Amino acid sequence: MKTQRRYQEIAARISRYIAENGLQPGDRLPGEIDLAKVCGVSRPTIREAMVALEIAGELEIRSGSGAYVRKNVNPMSLVLDSGPGPFELLRARILIEGEIAADAALYASAADLERVELALREMRELVAGKINAQANDRAFHVAIGEAAKNSVLASIVDGLWAGMFSPMYHRLSQRARMEGYQAEALRDHEDIFAAIQARNPNDARKAMRRHLQNVEQHLAESDVPLSEELDAVDASV
């Protein structure tokens, strides 16, 4: 039997709470902190569950206001599996890509460094023009994977990036206004490349992990603070 993802489990519990408490379309849900405390999970997990319910059409998340019931909910309905959650993907990337960057610093050829630098140069131009550079961002990370001289690792990086284009990641990125993070991300990429180019595996590992932890932090700081002034949610959630 397929194991349910954590965000699916929490989304299903929130969905049951809506039905069992007779919330109607337009009613507001309790705040994010309240839900996290009652469910015994982190706020990022609550955020992923909310995004999953928003994509499923059960909730509407209004900027600066909170989460509202969008339609009548069948408590027995299943929350569709949208793949690994964004934070699950990022934790995997932090663990894996730090080591890949360290290996790239040791094994990258001159041609490998040129490919990484090309992706970085194109990213600079797009960021300067305030154009979405996500595709170049992916190319940069995949090029580093290839520079580590391990086709399995390069394939893993590309596969992890495929998840970064999922509907859940896209919606969460909108919530966190990630388009405004591009300049900071570019600086992180500059540090990663500098360490790899200097053949310093320790600095390359640290720079990559720091970059991905910064992404994780930005996603966790959504621009939609769900109201924290509502009464604590019932323990039946």
pLDDT at 230: 35
> CB count, 10 Å around CB of 181?
17
How large is the average pLDDT for residues 169-187? Answer: 83
For the cut 50, the answer to whether the pLDDT of residue 233 exceeds it is: no
For the cut 70, the answer to whether the pLDDT of residue 213 exceeds it is: yes
Give the integer Cα–Cα distance in Å for 9 and 126: 39
pLDDT digits (tens, 9 = 90+) for 145-159: 999 999 998 899 988
Question: pLDDT category, 121, cuts 50, 70, 90?
Answer: very high
pLDDT digits (tens, 9 = 90+) for 24-67: 888 898 888 888 887 888 888 888 888 888 888 888 888 778 88
Can you name the CATH fold of 86-220? Four Helix Bundle (Hemerythrin (Met), subunit A) (1.20.120)
- Is the overall model pTM greater than 0.95, yes or no? no
Q: Which residues pair with 67 in a beta bridge?
A: 61
Question: pLDDT category, 218, cuts 50, 70, 90?
Answer: confident
Q: What is the mean pLDDT of the chain?
A: 84
pLDDT at 222: 55
Give the integer Cα–Cα distance in Å for 143 and 114: 10
